[in-house]
A = this chain, B = another copy of it.
Amino acid sequence: MQTISREDYLKAILKIEEESGTVSNQALVEKLSTRPASVTNMLHTLADAGWVEHLAYKGVHLTQTGKAIALSTLRKHRLWEVFLVEKLNFNWDEVHQWAEDLEHVGDEELTNRLDAFLDHPAFDPHGDPIPTAQGQWSDGRNLLPASQADVGDRIQLKGVVNSGEAFLQHLNRLGIKLGLTLEVLQALEFDGSKTLKWPDGTEASLSKQTLQNMLIERVEIKSNKR
């Protein structure tokens, strides 16, 4: 049985809290692919540890301590992902599971040394911001989903909404990776798809679904648009 650590629960609660404000057991069941009873159980454990406040039937939220632990774990996870991609040459779709294990190894000291060794990266291989040792993680950037880009824009991929293996591999097959700049040639109103042009001149059409999961920055906005 693959067990889910207390820290994994904290990370999940943190993410759900950010996405949707309120954290239901159901949401945790889905995010962690587990069972309702397991969630209730773990929430008791976390509450006993003082890491969350839990009101039965009313949801859960992180305490200061809980949030600090969640951010620290996220920091470790993302730093290890950088290590795996930058140093061991894994692809961005291959690193999540190993990082899930690595994040439970080492203390703050080890993490800070890893951070220094990696030259204090600000973002992980999926473009997600890496919290600092002080638990700050303001993502200064203002990214938008590629689905909101206009015809004529030149856009650069800076992150993904969904960093599941399947989606990342889909991007791999399309030759899309972080930092790639694309030009929006055409937008189809009826299905939300867009035709994009690669730096090498090839063109392809991406579905609305795919575009919504790509977080981009506009690098150049077509001049005749405001």
Q: Is the CB of A106 within 8 A of B110?
A: no
- Is A87 interfacial (CB 8 A cutoff)? yes
Q: Is the CB of A101 within 8 A of B104?
A: yes
A88, A89, A102, A104 — most chain B CB neighbours (10 Å): A88
CB distance from A97 to the nearest CB of B (A): 10
Report chain B residues within 8 Å CB of A102: 102, 105
Report chain B residues within 8 Å CB of A90: 110, 113
- Is A114 interfacial (CB 8 A cutoff)? yes
Known: A87-B117, A117-B88. A105 touches B110 (CB 8 A): no
- Is A137 interfacial (CB 8 A cutoff)? no
Q: Is the CB of A110 within 8 A of B87?
A: no
One of B88, B89, B98 near A105 (C-beta < 8 A):
B98
Q: Once the chains are docked, how many angstroms separate the CA of A90 from the CA of B112?
A: 12
Encode contact with B along A79-114: 1 for CB under 8 Å, 0 otherwise: 000001001111000000010011011100010011
A104, closest chain B residue (CB): B101
Q: Is the CB of B106 within 8 A of A98?
A: yes
Q: Once the chains are docked, how many angstroms separate the CA of A5 from the CA of B110?
A: 23
Complex interface residues of chain A between 50 and 105 (CB less than 8 A to chain B):
84, 87-90, 98, 101-102, 104-105
Q: Once the chains are docked, how many angstroms separate the CA of A138 from the CA of B89?
A: 29
Q: Is the CB of B110 within 8 A of A101?
A: no
Q: Once the chains are docked, how many angstroms separate the CA of A108 from the CA of B135?
A: 34
Report chain B residues within 8 Å CB of A117: 87-88
Please give me the 5 A-B residue pairs with the lowest Cβ-Cβ distance, nearest first: A88-B113, A101-B105, A102-B105, A87-B117, A98-B106
> 18 A-B residue contacts at CB 8 Å?
A84-B110, A87-B117, A88-B110, A88-B113, A88-B114, A88-B117, A89-B113, A90-B110, A90-B113, A98-B105, A98-B106, A98-B110, A101-B104, A101-B105, A101-B106, A102-B102, A102-B105, A105-B105
